[in-house]
Amino acid sequence: MWQAFEYFLAKISARRRAGALVFCLGLLLFCTTLTGEARARGVHELNYFQTSEVEVQGRQATRVEIGLDRDNLTYTAAVPQTEPDTLQLTLQKTRRGKVQADIPVQSKEIRSVQFTEAASRSLVVRIKTTHQTLQTGDYQVQLALADRKKRLPYRLVLDVFHPAAAAVGAVEGVRGHTIVLDAGHGGSDSGAVGPAGITEASVTLPVTQAVRDILQASGARVVMTRDTDVDVYGPNASDREELQARVNVGARTPGAELFVSIHCNAFSSPSAHGMETYYYPKTDADYRLASLLNEELAAAGGRFNRGVKEARFYVMRNSAMPASLVELAFITNPAEERLLADAAYQQRLAAAIARGIARYFRERLF
Ligand code: ZN
């Protein structure tokens, strides 16, 4: 290459040589300016990704932190009309780098985070949430400066808030009462599984926890058969051992007055749908509890009401106190599965169950 350049120089006159030199210097200057400008404008590259559960000003939230190798990020945030459960962030002049393109997230508020490199060097981040319709107040986005001590880079920080129990409101009439709540399945037993992979156990726990939160906020004493994703008896127990372990929680709770077990229904045909509540007629109170829960769930859930039904379910038959088992909806029905997995819908069902329990105490006939 250089030889060819010397040959070229030898061939042309001194005047032309001087001209060529000026041209080359000019070209060099131009190129330097160009690379300098590219550096100043900067193309961001992702270098960090983290999710965590946090509390922000008293509100529970799932936090997503996306780290960048340089600051001065320009971004926009929007909820696409066609995907109301998804928050879309568009990061200007950003490349994905080594961060995975599609990250599944196991949290109350977020299902997955996807990165797509789009036109004009922008990076689209799609955060799929558990909210059916994401509202402005459900999330916040901010930029955080690098923290050398904590070894954290410059970050884009997104918080998706859990719908507040306080917003649903307390119920009246449960103060001083003791209630046992049973979140169906858990641990080695996921319960029924929907077509999109949502498990019964992953629905019953947050619904039951939300019922507890409302009842406790209303002055009741609440005992849960389980408060995490576990077997109550232990892994791989027989059905009878597992169910008896749940009955035992009630039997060992001094002053326990009610036992409510929360489940999702399942059927071989995906078209089966609706809500139903069950009782075993030990006393009249068993039926009354099941029918009040049914009325409230029907009013709040907006699903087909399959009614109040008698059954010989173990936990109802073997609990000494009035008991009811509720089937919120069919997890095997695609539309109902989506609803059951939605945090706001879960909260609505929980509020309905809490209202049913409150009415049981308020409207007592004896
Ligand atoms: Zn079940």
CATH number at residue 207: 3.40.630.40
- Whole-number Å distance, alpha carbon 192 to ligand 1 midpoint, is 7
Q: Choose the final residue of a domain: 113, 133, 162.
A: 162
- Whole-number Å distance, alpha carbon 230 to ligand 1 midpoint, is 14
Answer yes or no: is pLDDT of 312 > 80: yes
- Whole-number Å distance, alpha carbon 75 to ligand 1 midpoint, is 44
Query: What's the rounded Cα separation, in Å, for the pair 326 and 260?
Result: 8
- Whole-number Å distance, alpha carbon 219 to ligand 1 midpoint, is 29
- Whole-number Å distance, alpha carbon 107 to ligand 1 midpoint, is 22
- Whole-number Å distance, alpha carbon 190 to ligand 1 midpoint, is 9
Q: 40-49, 176-185, 244-253: which has the minimum mean pLDDT?
A: 40-49
Q: 40-44, 139-143, 222-226: which has the minimum mean pLDDT?
A: 40-44
What type of residue sits at position 86? T
| 82 is a domain residue | yes
CATH of the domain at 130: 2.60.40.3500
Answer yes or no: is pLDDT of 156 > 70: yes
- Whole-number Å distance, alpha carbon 262 to ligand 1 midpoint, is 8
Q: Which residue has the higher pLDDT, 62 or 164?
A: 62
Find residue 265's DSSP bridge partners.
Answer: 330
- Whole-number Å distance, alpha carbon 191 to ligand 1 midpoint, is 6
* Cβ atoms of residues 344 and 132 within 8 Å: yes
Mean pLDDT value of segment 178-206? 96
| 33 is a domain residue | no
Query: In terms of domains, do 185 and 157 share one?
Result: no
- Whole-number Å distance, alpha carbon 183 to ligand 1 midpoint, is 9
Answer yes or no: is pLDDT of 13 > 60: no
- Whole-number Å distance, alpha carbon 264 to ligand 1 midpoint, is 6
- Whole-number Å distance, alpha carbon 263 to ligand 1 midpoint, is 4
Mean pLDDT value of segment 165-190? 86
Tens-digit pLDDT profile for residues 321-332? 999 999 999 999
Angle between helices 200-217 and 334-341 (to 10 degrees): 40
| 292 is a domain residue | yes
Query: In terms of domains, do 195 and 342 share one?
Result: yes
Q: What are the φ and ψ backbone dihedral angles of 285, each rounded to 5 degrees? A: -65, -30
- How high is the pLDDT of residue 55? 82
- Whole-number Å distance, alpha carbon 287 to ligand 1 midpoint, is 20
| 326 is a domain residue | yes
- Whole-number Å distance, alpha carbon 30 to ligand 1 midpoint, is 71
- Whole-number Å distance, alpha carbon 310 to ligand 1 midpoint, is 16
What is the average pLDDT score of the chain? Answer: 88
- How high is the pLDDT of residue 333? 97
Query: In terms of domains, do 286 and 138 share one?
Result: no
Structure tokens at 103: 């990250």
- How high is the pLDDT of residue 78? 93
- Whole-number Å distance, alpha carbon 205 to ligand 1 midpoint, is 12
Mean pLDDT value of segment 291-303? 93
- How high is the pLDDT of residue 25? 54
Query: In terms of domains, do 108 and 182 share one?
Result: no
Mean pLDDT value of segment 334-358? 95
Answer yes or no: is pLDDT of 31 > 70: no
In the chain, the number of structural domains is 2
Query: In terms of domains, do 201 and 341 share one?
Result: yes
Q: Give pTM, 2 decimals.
A: 0.60
Query: In terms of domains, do 136 and 282 share one?
Result: no
Query: In terms of domains, do 155 and 60 share one?
Result: yes
Query: What's the rounded Cα separation, in Å, for the pair 285 and 256?
Result: 14
- How high is the pLDDT of residue 2? 54
Answer yes or no: is pLDDT of 265 > 70: yes
- The domain containing residue 139 runs over which residues? 44-162
Handedness of CA 57, 59, 60, 61 (dihedral sign): negative
Q: Within 10 A of 59 (CB to CB), how many other CB atoms are there?
A: 14
Query: In terms of domains, do 110 and 197 share one?
Result: no
- Whole-number Å distance, alpha carbon 362 to ligand 1 midpoint, is 29
Answer yes or no: is pLDDT of 166 > 50: no
Answer yes or no: is pLDDT of 141 > 50: yes
